[in-house]
Amino acid sequence: MTQQTPHASAHIVDEGAEGVPTFEATGGDWSQIAEEAARLGEERIVVNMGPQHPSTHGVLRLMLEIDGETVTEARCGVGYLHTGIEKSMEYRTWTQGVTLCTRMDYLAPFFQETAHCLAVETLLGITDDVPERATVIRVLLMELNRVGSHLIALGTGGNELGATTIMTTAFTAREEILKIFELITGLRMNHGFVRPGGVAQDIPPGALDTIREALPLIRDYIGQLSDLMLGNPIFKGRLVGVGHLNLAGCMALGITGPVLRATGLPYDVRKHTPYCGYETYDFDVPVSTDADSFARVVLRVEECYQSLRIVEQALERLQASGPGPVMVADKKIAWPAQLAIGSDGMGNSLDHIKEIMGTSMEALIHHFKLVTEGFRVPAGQATQAVEHPRGELLAHLVSDGGTRPYRAHFRDPSFNNLQAVSLMCEGGMLADVVVAVAGLDPVMGGVDR
């Protein structure tokens, strides 16, 4: 590292492999450094935005070559949050894998959990055996999660443009959703609630009424966000026409989600390849043809309203069906789904423990083996797609007939969508890079899985 000096300077470090000089700038005012670089006959400037930067949605590194304020080249650098989740899943049981994949895209954990479990259920051949109530609970949680994820996209995007009120409003609305998650699963994020064969436990008493009471409040907050953003001439001036990516670009790069639907193509996995009974729900797929950052904001707002429509239908079905099984009946697969908290606030209730240990020694041994060793999955492979808030999420699982995956791989939409950064940013202004990246809404936990 070159020691800082009180005066600006720029000097050639080396000529590089192709004879292109590399400059190292130290100290002083930026304008002086630019003048020195110009004096040396080189106007090519490369700057790093991230991986520690308030406008890069996590530890995303953007390498930008600029000519004045114009971006001439933009590249992404990923891997700063790498956790090895996919590899770790090969050393855990099929059920334990849920607690790993839920941490990938930490803003949309239920989608990874559901995609993984649907793929496991396909391998087990129990897709039709999953109780309807468990499937409806999955849909309820995913659609609430979609709203919460979009609120983060809108809120952080507004904050990066200097509109702090947009962020505080969005985060306040999301807090209502996180309260529901905590009520149902016990956790605000990284839930591990969706399990192969169903879900961990049924909706607690009174939860349906709590959700119904929260929905008007969430709608009101979304309406406030619409007023703050969509009717704001300054906000529109910063987003309209910025980060343009047409349908051809999306198709060439495999871009999905709101970015693709902003080009006019109504591709949504819930409609095109339904899962979890989505074909039985009434909802629309919003589209636009403007293909810019403002269109993506409009679509995310509208998708929030559509998700709340699905949530209301799920609530009606849960109310009509009443309490019932939420896990497959096969005890060789099903973890206990009638969990209860003990009087000390920890673990299972004494009655539940007494039931397991008092039934028979064989029952206790089976429970112990199921939890520690896991169930075996027939050899084969399965792929499951779900409509993630950022696009198409794909879970691909390979089994060699054991209690652990031979291979677990996820096609995370953020990873694919980041390919569009160069197309969206090159030729535009440096300040518009922030707008373009916010429109993609990448989450690095999913990218660096």
pLDDT at position 72:
84
pLDDT band for position 8 (cuts 50, 70, 90):
very low
pLDDT band for position 9 (cuts 50, 70, 90):
very low
Compute the average pLDDT of residues 327-343: 71
Residue 11's SS3 state is strand
Q: Which of 412, 446, 435 is nearest to 49 (CA)?
A: 435
**Tokens 């803003």 label which residue?**
107
Write out the two tokens for 132.
């309807």
Q: Read off the pLDDT of residues 129-184 as tens digits, 9 standing for 90 and up.
A: 999 999 999 999 999 999 999 999 999 888 888 888 999 999 999 999 999 999 99
Residue 336 exposed, middle or buried by CB count within 10 Å (0-12, 13-18, 19+): middle
For the beta carbon of residue 428, count every other beta carbon within 10 angstroms: 19
Which range among 39-48, 292-301, 344-353 shows the weakest confidence by mean pLDDT? Answer: 344-353
**What's the CA gap between 172 and 130, in Å, rounded?**
35
Start-end ranges of CATH 1.10.645.10 in the chain?
A: 85-333+375-447
What number of H helices and E strands is found in the chain? Answer: 18, 10
Residues in the chain, overall count: 449
In which element (H, E) is residue 220 found?
helix 207-229
**What's the CA gap between 234 and 237, in Å, rounded?**
5
Q: Read off the pLDDT of residues 367-404 as tens digits, 9 standing for 90 and up.
A: 788 888 888 999 999 999 999 999 999 999 999 999 99
Compute the average pLDDT of residues 303-323: 93
Q: Read off the pLDDT of residues 42-82 as tens digits, 9 standing for 90 and up.
A: 566 888 887 777 666 778 888 888 888 888 888 888 888 88
**What's the CA gap between 258 and 439, in Å, rounded?**
9
Residues whose CB falls within 8 Å of the CB of residue 205, separated by 6 or more in sequence, listed in order: none
Residue 32 has pLDDT above 50, yes or no: yes
Residue 235 has pLDDT above 80, yes or no: yes
pLDDT at position 7:
45
pLDDT band for position 99 (cuts 50, 70, 90):
very high
Torsion of the alpha carbons at 427, 433, 439 and 441, rounded to the nearest 10: 130
**What's the CA gap between 101 and 410, in Å, rounded?**
9
Q: Say if CB 210 and CB 183 are below 8 A apart.
A: yes
Write out the two tokens for 140.
């309820």
**What's the CA gap between 363 and 345, in Å, rounded?**
25
User: What is the residue type of 406?
Assistant: Y
| Distance of alpha carbon 10 from the chain centroid | 42
Q: Could you tell me where the beta strands, DSSP code E, fall in 55-213?
A: 61-67, 70-77, 194-195, 198-199
**Across the chain, what does the average pLDDT equal?**
85
Write out the two tokens for 373.
């060793």
Q: Could you tell me where the beta strands, DSSP code E, fall in 7-104?
A: 9-14, 22-26, 45-49, 61-67, 70-77
Q: Say if CB 387 and CB 376 are below 8 A apart.
A: no
Compute the average pLDDT of residues 3-28: 49
pLDDT at position 310:
96
**What's the CA gap between 121 and 128, in Å, rounded?**
9
Write out the two tokens for 263.
């080009």
**Tokens 């397991």 label which residue?**
356
Residue range 85-333+375-447 in CATH 1.10.150.120? no
| Choice between 29 and 85, residue whose per-residue pLDDT is larger | 85
**What's the CA gap between 154 and 175, in Å, rounded?**
14
pLDDT at position 173:
94
Q: Say if CB 37 and CB 45 are below 8 A apart.
A: yes
pLDDT at position 6:
41
Residue 12 has pLDDT above 60, yes or no: no
Q: Give the whole-number percent of the chain exceeding pLDDT 70.
A: 84
pLDDT band for position 34 (cuts 50, 70, 90):
low
Q: Read off the pLDDT of residues 256-280 as tens digits, 9 standing for 90 and up.
A: 999 999 999 999 999 999 999 999 9
